[in-house]
A and B are shown apart, each in its own frame.
Chain A
Amino acid sequence: MTVDVDPRVALAAETKFRLVDCDIHPIVRSTADLRPYLPKAWHDYFDQFGNFLVSPYTEAHPYPKPTPALSRLDSWPPNGGPPGSDLAFMREQHLDPHDIEIGVLQVLWPTAARQRNLGYAAALCSAINDWQAEEWLAKEPRLRGSIMVSLEDPESAAAEIARCARRGGYAQLMLMPRNMEPLGRKKYWPIFAAAQEHDLTLGCHTGGLNGYPVTGGAGHCSYYAEEKDAGGYPMEAMLTSMVFEGVFQSFPKLRLVAIEATMGWLPPLYWRLDELWQRFRAELPAVTRPPSEILREHIWVTTQPADEPEDPRHLRDLFDWIGWDRICFASDYPHWDSDDPRYALPVQMSLAEKRGIFRDNAMRVYRLG
């Protein structure tokens, strides 16, 4: 396959650029780290009840992960604490050697956004947002935070978005795709209104459990290998819901990044929705043009875990279908399935294409420039 490169673009592009990594996972050394950031009124709850999710376990996962702490074995900080808990080691192992210009933090644990006790969820979200600001953003100028909100409590979420937006330092509003209802439904719209008002990108990171089968209508599967590959399904459901309900039509400035769900599902979703739309137009008054046209204006994807076709040239087809300006590199450091930017996308790319994927696209979608 030949690669068509506009020589003017290639020449104009800098030959060296630093990286933007859209998915870095910091974590508390222990949940006790968050206690000081919680209002006193929640301290007894924190001590006695604490983490309360839709799960059979307090901490473990019913689809056990393949590595301890879900992480690369070489990412445990030498000074103790779980992977991702030590800023100095993160600098040494990841930010410095890969010359990361900006890294977007995604906090997965403890899962504040999905606490069953909504009051605690809101308090924990605020605590994690403050913890990010104090422990990470204030200490490392290369990092940007994610605003955590309790999605099932849109009013408090909107207030928290406003609070964090005033504070600054956050690149995105973090969403979780496995919600209790499809994300386009009206009850979530106050969140979108707040995100648009504060010009915040929506970052939707895969993962979490909500009690429904991760397969959706097929029922509960047995293996982590199945659960892992099911990570993209809710992204598709979420985007389908959002475009069918008219979220992007009503909030035209929204930008959404689908994070850690691979990329290959996106073009087939476009094809499928466009075909279905022709039959369901009477049901979908908010959709006045092909769904793919609407989504293409609002959706970005991150690269990890990198799609690995046997023939790497097929990646170029995928990128052509998605749009080269819509793809942003993510490492997922320090998790077990993280990608090394030097090897993750073994496909011929022009310098301009590389620069887009590894830096410029993320700078644009997150307004980092």
Chain B
Amino acid sequence: MATEAATLSPVHAITGAIDVDLHPAVPDMAALLPHMHPHWAEQMVVRGIDALESVMWKATMPITARPDFRGPPGTQPGQSLERLRAQALDGFGTAIGICNPLWGTAALFNEDMASELCRAMNTWLAREWLDREPRLRGAITVAPHAPDQAAAEIERCAADPRFVSVLLPAMTEMPLGRRSHRPIFAAAEKHGLAVTIHAGGQYRHPPTVTGWGSFHAEDHAAQANIFQAQVLSLVYEGVFVDHPSLRVVLLDAGIGWLPSFLWRANKTWRGLRAEVPWVKRSPSDIVREHIRFSLQPLQGPPDAQGMERLLEHIAADHMLLFSTDYPHWRFEGQAAVPPQIPARLLPALLRENALETYPRLRPSDRPRAALPEGVNRPAP
């Protein structure tokens, strides 16, 4: 509304930020072949397997790339390091950016193929991005339906300190809290890796319980509910009981739904906690301790006054982590921190919260070594 927009503060100045959600794009399968086991490299070629572009992030859709972030025609938005460097890092004065590639390697039904392509993409990320740009950090992409292979891949990549997180999809075969997934969380906790969950994913089920909708926009709107279900699963299945130091970051989840979701969860827990007796604290306590949110997309009140109300409801300024979601189109110009976010949040939002959430971003005397070629590769 015009009157409210007039009361918003000017665009926040940002510098030295940690951007937890950048999306470098795999251009095509050929880019991954050099990093693949020969069996699988050959399979990709002889079967013509390529174009694992996620339906959530179809390159030509407006949401997938802001017009000025979009590369030349025929290229994938986000595939150019030079553009990402200039636009996402230099463009916002970003000190550290975490790469979350969204190519659909984890959505293949074949557990071995999915796991191998995830491995190849992780190695590709190290070689093509982390080696070439010191401000970048990486997420370890794993296929959640192959938890043992996922844990082994986390072990492999964890040797490289530039990998700071594990990347899981929001849309899964089974909710992430279910016990079969536990090896993934155990490996992440062991190595001080945050577990991040990104919108979209495997599409094993209709995005909403009401079935398959007509529009991409419905799939995007459904993500908030899918995230809520994933949070409830993590809480009620006791992931944080088994892994008390784990931090989970929801990427592209929006924040508007958080307070009323917690009200509901607390009330339900009070009546039903005997169903999950290992959950000894209220869901809101557990969420406030263990779960964080990327800033973009905000999907909250559009006005400053409403945002103040929402932030009071969330009652936890430590939960928001700066993100641009580059190259996705979430905001205009330099307004990566939406104007309705109060300036008092900036120091925590831009850096401190991320440092607290991602242990590997903190200065440390851990031995550091870049991911060597083919190290510890398990036989497929």
Contact = CB atoms under 8 A, between A and B. Distances in A.
A238 B91 CA distance: 40
Contacts of A234: 208-210
Contacts of A336: 271
Contact of B210 (A218, A225, A238, A280): A238
Contact of B218 (A213, A244, A314): A244
B264 A264 contact: yes
Given A182-B214, A225-B276, A309-B313, A220 B175 contact: yes
Interface in A269-304: 269, 271-277, 279-280, 282-284
Contacts of A308: 263, 266-267
A217 interface: yes
Interface string B233-269: 1001100000000000000001011011101111111
B300 A214 contact: no
Contacts of B257: 265, 268, 272
Contacts of B354: none
Nearest to B223: A217
Contacts of A350: none
B229 A244 contact: no
Interface stretch (A12-20, A172-180, A326-334): A172-180
A276 B220 contact: yes
B215 A244 contact: yes
A241 B218 contact: yes
Contacts of B147: none
A219 B299 contact: no
Contacts of B342: none
Contacts of A180: 210-211
A226 B256 contact: no
A251 interface: no
A66 to B, nearest CB: 6
A228 interface: yes
A221 B264 contact: no
B134 interface: no
Contact of A215 (B211, B225, B306, B313): B225
B172 interface: yes
B209 A215 contact: yes
A277 B263 CA distance: 28
Given A218-B226, A280-B63, A237 B209 contact: yes
B272 interface: yes
Contacts of A325: none
A307 B218 contact: no
Nearest to A228: B268
Contacts of B374: none
A316 B175 CA distance: 34
B173 interface: yes
A267 B303 CA distance: 13
B129 interface: no
A326 B206 CA distance: 30
A268 B254 contact: yes
Interface residues of A, number: 69
A96 interface: no
B256 A229 contact: no
A317 B309 contact: yes
A317 to B, nearest CB: 5
Contacts of A237: 207-210, 213, 218, 221-222, 225
Contacts of A279: 61-63, 217, 329
Contacts of B276: 223, 225
A177 B208 CA distance: 11
A242 to B, nearest CB: 11
Given A224-B275, A236-B225, A271-B300, A217 B206 contact: yes
With a 10 A CB-CB cut-off, give which of B174, B177, B201, B208 has the most chain A CB atoms. B208
Interface string A194-238: 000000000000000010111111111111111011101110111
A242 B207 CA distance: 16
A67 B226 CA distance: 27
A27 B49 CA distance: 56
B298 interface: yes
B209 A230 contact: yes
A115 interface: no
Given A182-B208, A229-B228, 6 more contacts: A181-B211, A215-B175, A217-B202, A244-B218, A262-B264, A268-B256
Interface of A: 66, 177-185, 210, 212-226, 228-230, 232-234, 236-238, 240-241, 244-245, 262-265, 267-269, 271-277, 279-280, 282-284, 305, 307-310, 314, 317-318, 321, 336-337
20 contacts: A66-B271, A181-B212, A212-B210, A216-B205, A216-B209, A216-B229, A217-B208, A219-B173, A219-B204, A225-B232, A229-B261, A230-B228, A236-B224, A268-B254, A272-B257, A272-B299, A276-B217, A283-B215, A309-B263, A310-B266
